[in-house]
A and B are shown apart, each in its own frame.
Chain A
Amino acid sequence: EMVMTQSPATLSVSPGERATLSCRASQSVSSNLAWYQQRPGQAPRLLIYDASTRATDIPARFSGSGSGTEFSLTISSLQSEDFAVYYCQQYNTWPPALTFGGGTKVEIK
């Protein structure tokens, strides 16, 4: 089973600062990795797919990088609406066995 591990579990950041979130796969997923944002009480929202491509209408302050087993999501200057939980998801297995990381909560410092 493909296991996705996110770190840290919680990240405390001040508004305007930079945040870097990590996601590690238990085996290579190539670039088949996505990132989602989930605000409290809301459904997740797709931010990044194919490791580094921003989804439609996602601000440029969100960027993704990495390949293989190590990935990161960077938020260049945190806005108030960015405080949320972020999940990575791999889609490199067949038959499909999509798996998510456990999430990183970005909270206000």
Chain B
Amino acid sequence: QVQLVESGGGVVQPGRSLRLSCAASGFTFSNNIMHWVRQAPGKGLEWVAVISDDGRNKYYADSVKGRFTMSRDNSKNTLYLQMNSLRVEDTAVYYCARDRGDYDFWSGYYTFDYWGQGTLVTVSS
């Protein structure tokens, strides 16, 4: 069955960096567009970034553009999110999510059919 397992969360000071990982199994990882979505404590969902199946193309939410970098290693079935210059407002549970995949990357028709359990990132001094 499809499994997505995030890791790498923790407590970090503002301005510092953190790298999240998401280990995928149960499907052909290299065939799927993947996303990061976050949820601040007690708040709603916010899409963070998307990466194409081959890793060549990425898009980011304005709130993280220039600070976060998404990447993937298809040989390791692993997704990454490098988070630099962290801010207090980046505090959230970060989910990796698989795109449902019915549409081409360039369509922008993205929905999320499988989610990991999430990893909590707390940015605090």
Contact = CB atoms under 8 A, between A and B. Distances in A.
Nearest to A101: B44
Give the interface residue-count category, chain A: 20 to 34
The majority secondary structure among interface residues of chain A is loop
Contacts of A34: 111-112
A93 B45 contact: no
Given A46-B112, A91-B108, A100 B118 contact: no
Interface residues of B, number: 20
A83 interface: no
Contact of B59 (A43, A46, A55, A96): A96
A43 B120 CA distance: 13
The majority secondary structure among interface residues of chain B is loop
Contact of B44 (A49, A91, A96, A100): A100
Contact of A91 (B59, B61, B109, B113): B109
B59 A44 contact: no
Nearest to A46: B113
B46 A100 contact: yes
Contact of A96 (B50, B100, B117): B50
Interface of A: 32, 34, 36, 38, 43-46, 49, 55-56, 87, 89, 91-103
